[in-house]
Amino acid sequence: MIFDVCSIPDLLKLGIATPVYKRKGKPLDDPNSYRKITVTSILNKILEKLYLEKKDETLKNAQSPLQRGFTKGISGLNAALILNELIAEAQDLHRPLYVAFLDAQKAFDLVWHSSLLRKLHQSGIESDSWLMFKEWYKDLTSQIKWEGDYANKEHYCISKTKSSVVQFNDKQPRNFTMNSEEIPTSQSAVHLGIERDNSSKFGTKNVSNARISAARKATYALMGAGLHGLNGLNPTVSIHIIRIFIIPRLIHGLEVVRLMISDIKALSSYFKQLLKRIQHLPERTADSATYLLSGQMPIEAEIDKRTLTLFGNIIRNPNTVEFKLAQRQLAIKDRNSKSWFTYVQQLLEKYNLPSSSVLLQEPPGKFSWKNLVSKAVKTYWTNKIHSEAREKSSLQYINFEQLTFDNPHLVWKSAKFEHFSIQRAGIKCRLMLDTYLLQIHKQKFNKYEVDSTCLLCHNGAEDRKHFLIQCVALDSIRSPFLKILHEKTTEVVRDVKLADAIFEQPDELLSLILDCTGYQVIPPSRQEEFEAVSRGLCFALHIERSDRIKTLQ
């Protein structure tokens, strides 16, 4: 009926606007300090979507090839990529470039709708179709929701337009005006959430700090939900929360810009610290162990995945400006260029993926490309981190070969959601990584001014082997757990002599206690049983040692 008569009921045109405070130190009594968020009729939006689907191709052909907002299949961040290539071209050629960043706040409130309708008619939308669009935007009303009530408010004061010009490769002062009003020049400006500057190599020196700040705020906001160290959620749950809420904020927009090595290091440093705190590990913990125990890839890998995924999106759309840019830049730019596409070429080589020329000629499908990229990135970083882990003597008792990303270590998975089990797992985890503070560590940290001899039995240096297996002062605590472990080992191997041989060799027994996944004779279905016993052993020894040292002091 609505489509037949080209008339929409006034009730469907009513929107409820809620003022949302912008913060940033703005005065509470100023209407400009609030952003008007309008919720429109659900039925009206459904009707609009159904109608627009019929006219989608006509409108798509009429829009500017540089428009990236509200364009199907293309991210709005692609506009940042186009700007990135423009700046890179100017820097490569050492030519001056002037970029005006114009803020079009509240565009819908200010735009001349009659002109838009005229443009719509010129684009091929005619007759009843044009009348339908006109009816949609005729007599639209918005009521302000304030303290639970509604007000018949037609207009609010509009924030003053914020614009600036950033000069690249030109240090001479320039004057820029628009409608006889001067536009100020600045050293940097924010475009699509990405701060551009004219002083750094890639014009993105402040981006990493801004992303770290956003991620840190999100982390603090989630602490109330248990996203913190040993007394919070199981690290496996915390890692899942980090993937959903923290990582997207930490790397938002980084796939369309080039970063300095120092920026990558800053992002990696923050992310490593976050993973260590979630697992209650000290700063001196090996980075490779931090990633593999948590089952989380380095943040550099996450950025690379997004960058390559974006490149796949570009080469699948041959009629876009980005595709033409890719063809040009990959054809004429060398490896020293600041172009984003030359960086993509380096990533393709890094992960042993098909060359850019092959991909441009035969672009893979969306899902096949994402799977190929994901597998290549995962394989590269798994091999790299496994190689680093093998070089660490502190990790010699951990079976890293079977650990992959997206699969946390058994020490965390087996603790599940019981708070006491998570605490026990935290102690065992530090013993696994040789970061549990013993006398031998104190001696190293104090330049051998502290004696490494065990304070409890005074018989040999106190390292983790001595603490877990050999210290006679802790035999009464250790024996019940070792007895249970021996019984379970005998059940699994079905050979008493073989079980005895494992327990008679200190290194084999230590390996069994610290990481039972290294024993192929223990089936995965029984590994959690061994883990629970060894977790209890480590925690019981920790408590007894702490109590005795307090007594001695």
> For residue range 377-423, what is the model confidence (pLDDT) as tens digits?
999 999 999 999 999 988 999 888 778 888 899 999 999 888 899 99
Q: Which domain holds residue 466?
A: 437-552
Pair 454, 408 in one domain: no
Of residues 456, 470, 455, the one with CA closest to residue 513: 470
Q: Are residues 230 and 143 in the same domain?
A: no
Q: Are residues 412 and 474 in the same domain?
A: no
331 and 243 share one domain: yes
Residue 372 falls inside a structural domain: yes
Q: Which of 233, 356, 254 is nearest to 302 (CA)?
A: 254
Span 149-194, pLDDT tens digits? 444 433 333 334 577 889 998 888 888 887 777 888 888 888 888 8
Q: How many CA atoms lie within 13 A of 357 on its CB side?
A: 2
Alpha carbon of 66 to those of 78, 323, 410: distances in Å? 9, 12, 50
Say if residue 400 is in the same domain as residue 453: no
pLDDT tens for 277-289 read: 999 999 999 999 9
Q: How many domains does the chain fold into? A: 3
Query: Exposed, middle or buried: residue 248 (CB in 10 Å: 0-12, 13-18, 19+)?
Result: middle
What pLDDT does 111 receive? Answer: 60
Task: Determine the pLDDT at residue 109.
Answer: 58
DSSP string, 204-235: -TTHHHHHHHHHHHHHHHHGGGT-SSTTSS-H
Q: Which residue ranges in the chain fall short of pLDDT 70?
A: 1-6, 24, 54-62, 104-113, 115, 128, 136-161, 230
What are 70's two structure tokens?
A: 């509200």
Task: Indicate if 404 and 446 belong to the same structural domain.
Answer: no
Say whether both 359 and 462 belong to one domain.
Answer: no
Do residue 397 and residue 468 come from a single domain? Answer: no
State the alpha helices, DSSP H only, in 469-523: 475-493, 496-504, 506-514
The pLDDT of residue 17? 77
- Same domain for 374 and 236? yes
Residue type, 217: K
Last-in-domain residue among 369, 389, 417 = 417
Same domain flag for 255 and 391 = yes
The secondary structure of the chain in percent helix, strand, coil, rounded to multiples of 5, reads 55, 10, 35
Instruction: Record the pTM.
Output: 0.84
Residue whose C-alpha is closest to residue 498's, from 485, 510, 489: 489
* Whether 254 and 371 share a structural domain: yes
Query: Which of 417, 452, 476 corresponds to the end of one domain?
Result: 417
Check residue 112 and give its pLDDT.
60
pLDDT of residue 143: 54
Which DSSP category does 86 fall into?
H
Residue 455 lies in a domain: yes
> Helices 496-504 & 506-514, crossing angle to 10 degrees?
100
191 domain residue, yes or no: no
Instruction: Specify the residue for token string 């009926």.
Output: 1
**Residue 425 belongs to what H/E stretch?**
helix 419-432
User: Which residues contact residue 115 at a Cβ distance below 8 angstroms, ignoring those fewer than 6 apart?
Assistant: none
Q: How far apart are CA 354 and CA 363, in angstroms?
A: 10
Q: Is the residue at 329 inside a domain?
A: yes
Which alpha helices (DSSP H) does 279-397 contain, by range?
287-294, 299-315, 321-332, 340-350, 356-361, 366-390
